[in-house]
Amino acid sequence: MQLLSADLRHITLGSLLQVAESDRLDGSFRFDPEGSLVLHKGGVTDAVHGRLKGIDAALTLLMVRSRSAVFEMFDTDDRPPIADTMALIIDGARLNDDWANLAPQVLGIRDGLDRSRLSRELASVVDHLDGTAIVNEAVKQAGSQGLLITLPKRGIQVMEAQPETIRECLDFRMVMDQEGARRRVASGNCAGLGTLRAQHQKLFFFFKQKTAYDIFT
């Protein structure tokens, strides 16, 4: 039975989850354009958004700007919640604040990129740089391709610097630099490029004349 339909431009998902928890509702939220949350006695027991499931999917749904949500009430399996509802809402709000600060720095990959120039592993990571994927998804993908190692509660360890890896990283940096330059030129913001070019040429000529400089100093 459809219990409610909400326009998420005027009410947040966090508010809806608080109502569902207060009334201990069973059922599921379905979101437009995608995603769902399953509730049992008001607690979130499952979540799906694209390739994501569980807590990652729930946090993504709290972050993305879905257009609408529909709640259908029905009996759900008696399963423990994936997280405390209020903790989910608070984490979602924190991630939204963090994203508001980071979003202007996020680079998407333009459609015309020639992926044939990249290795298979690097191309699979580039596919995730669409300006929407959350950081831990990109980290998991990079880890699965051997580009880094995740150290629980300590951070990440970047892959060993072998010649092949260095070349792939330089190719990846080239992709980022080209996209950044393209956007800067497209925006017409060329301030400071003269100074940057002068600094680059100064370093270039300095080390060109001292090919063994790093060996003898």
The string of pLDDT tens digits covering residues 87-107 is 999 988 888 777 777 665 554
Q: DSSP string spanning 25-91?
A: --EEEEEESS-EEEEETTEEEEEEETTEETHHHHHHHHHS--SEEEEEE--------SS-HHHHHHH
The answer, yes or no, to whether residue 151 has pLDDT greater than 90, is no
d(CA 31, CA 52): 14
Average pLDDT over every residue of 123-141: 62
d(CA 153, CA 136): 14
pLDDT band at 17 (very low <50, low <70, confident <90, very high): very high
Question: Whole-model pTM?
Answer: 0.49
d(CA 57, CA 176): 28
d(CA 123, CA 154): 27
Model pLDDT, residue 11: 87
d(CA 168, CA 177): 14
pLDDT band at 31 (very low <50, low <70, confident <90, very high): very high
Q: pLDDT for 61-80, tens place per residue?
A: 888 777 789 999 999 999 99
Please report where in the chains the tokens 């980022």 appear, as a residue: 176
Model pLDDT, residue 216: 41
The answer, yes or no, to whether residue 118 has pLDDT greater than 50, is yes
Average pLDDT over every residue of 56-65: 85
Candidates 122, 50, 55, 42; CA nearest to 82 is 55
